[in-house]
Amino acid sequence: MPKNENPGLRSKVLIVGCGFGGLEAARALAHAPVDITLVDRANHHLFQPLLYQVATAGLSAPAIAAPVRFLFRKQPNVTSLLGEVGAIDAAQKQARLIDGSALPYDHLIVAAGATHSYFGHDEWSAHAPGLKTLEDAFEIRRRLLLAFESAEKESDPARREAWLTFVVIGGGPTGVEMAGTMAEIARHTLPGEFRHIDPARARIVLVEGSPRVLQAMPESLSASAQHQLERLGVEVHVNARVTGIDAEGLDVDPAGDAPAYRIAARCIVWAAGVAASPLGRQLAEATGTQVDRAGRVVVLPDLSLPGHPEISVIGDLAAAQSHAPGREPRPVPGVSPAAKQMGRTAAGNIERRLRGEATQAFRYRDYGNLATIGRNSAVVDLATPVGPVRFSGVSAWLFWLFAHIYFLIGFRNRLVVLFDWASAYWSAQRYARVVAGIKPARSP
């Protein structure tokens, strides 16, 4: 197939970011008469819902990451580029990369996603890494595994206990998954391997500021999730606000009259807040658009920007509304199905504009919500035409498992992940307990 029949005549589509939204937009334009450039900071698309498995040594990185250019090797209208966009020049219709080069566009889709936010306490990031990239996952895996190693060598009981205390801040899906899996590792994977400590006695604490975990779920499922966590051996602290984090632990302020307390812990994971990519704010300034409190760009119903029909913002970077006929517009949640749907709508609107048709408003189809907690534990809240279907426990866990494997990118990875999980399930072992480049402490 010729790459490009009429290079001068075809529209240039630039897609910034190859998460779920950007990937889906590029795929949806496979047969459109456009030349697509897909630019991302990483060389891979990451299946983020399973990133916590890399952080907890259950999966290797390649099992959940596929090279972007491999994914588009058979779509000749896509050029994949490794690079970081620093700014959008809406007047010149080009994106400026931080290496100094520029990418011109006729149509732009910005899908740069979100990063973690420490609510103004960036100094906490050194002590409580978040989980967004593979590098983050490796850092958490390193801290998690080396904490047990340090505990094995520590002779002071209080210090040993701090090495054996693991705290996850934030009771959303990622926090619940992390805490549940940490408990599994401590109770099922490591026992028998140490001679001076009992890993099963490790303390796993989940700290959540609101009154319940999994706030996006109905209350009954939140309660079920908390119960399942506690059964796995996780201490769940709700209504507990974190007021300080340092190298030795964290300070917690409970709601009401309860006194503030401190948890001595050497491995702390941040799963509490996300903020939109800084590119959103720059884009908003360049186009006179609003951003919301989380830094997301407030888009029009068709996901484009006021006065800039050629620019769409999608995924976690967009503050979008769902427009269903005969219903009030509703905010779109920051979940991967929403990002994918926005990608398809933005791509379709580019095709409509090329054909001289009117664009369509975005409508989010909510198929429900699910979260896993650990071995045999999950909660599922499905939206079906006959109303919600809710269940938890083993059946929910199996549902979660197959849903995630089904949506994994690429046949190869699905098989690998299924195989890794099956073997992890039967052996309670975790495959990827490997830390590269350990720098042992030197005496002062």
* b/e per residue 109-144 (b: at least 16 CB within 10 A): bbbbbbbbbbeeeeebeebbbbbbbbebbbbbbbbb
Contact status: 437 vs a copy of itself (CB under 8 A): yes
Contact status: 200 vs a copy of itself (CB under 8 A): no
Whichever of 153 and 231 has its CB closer to a copy of itself, that residue is 153
Q: Which of residues 403-422 bind a copy of itself (CB under 8 A)?
A: 412, 415-416, 419
Residues present in the chain in total: 444
Contact status: 99 vs a copy of itself (CB under 8 A): yes
Q: Is residue 177 flagged as an active site residue?
A: yes
Pick the binder of a copy of itself from 30, 87, 97, 238 (CB under 8 A). Answer: 97
Strands 308-313, 107-110: parallel, antiparallel or unpaired by DSSP? parallel
How far apart, in whole angstroms, are the C-alpha atoms of residue 199 and residue 245? 24
Residues 146, 438 contacting (CB under 8 angstroms) = yes
Kindly report the backbone phi and psi dihedral angles of residue 164, in degrees, each rounded to the nearest multiple of 5, phi listed first.
-100, 15
Contact status: 195 vs a copy of itself (CB under 8 A): yes
List the catalytic residue out of 24, 154, 177, 184. Answer: 177
Whichever of 407 and 431 has its CB closer to a copy of itself, that residue is 431
Pick the binder of a copy of itself from 10, 12, 27, 60 (CB under 8 A). Answer: 60
- In whole angstroms, the minimum distance from the beta carbon of 295 to a copy of itself comes to 21
Kindly report the backbone phi and psi dihedral angles of residue 394, in degrees, each rounded to the nearest multiple of 5, phi listed first.
-60, -45
- In whole angstroms, the minimum distance from the beta carbon of 82 to a copy of itself comes to 4
Whichever of 88 and 432 has its CB closer to a copy of itself, that residue is 432
* 3 state DSSP class of 190: coil
Greatest Cα-to-Cα distance within the chain, rounded to the nearest angstrom = 74
How far apart, in whole angstroms, are the C-alpha atoms of residue 107 and residue 208? 41
Radius of gyration (C-alpha) of the chain in whole angstroms: 23
Contact status: 10 vs a copy of itself (CB under 8 A): no
- In whole angstroms, the minimum distance from the beta carbon of 101 to a copy of itself comes to 8
- In whole angstroms, the minimum distance from the beta carbon of 204 to a copy of itself comes to 20
Count of beta carbons in the 10 Å neighbourhood of residue 94: 18
Q: Could you give the string, one character per residue 73-92, with x where binding to a copy of itself holds by CB under 8 A and - elsewhere?
A: xx----xxxxxx--------
How far apart, in whole angstroms, are the C-alpha atoms of residue 82 and residue 69? 10
Pick the binder of a copy of itself from 89, 123, 193, 285 (CB under 8 A). Answer: 193
Closest Cα to residue 202, out of 226, 237, 235? 235
**Residues noted as catalytic:** 177
Rule CB under 8 A: which residues touch a copy of itself?
3, 41-44, 60-63, 65, 67, 69-70, 72-74, 79-84, 97-101, 133-135, 138, 145-146, 149, 152-153, 192-196, 412, 415-416, 419, 423, 427, 429, 431-438, 440-444
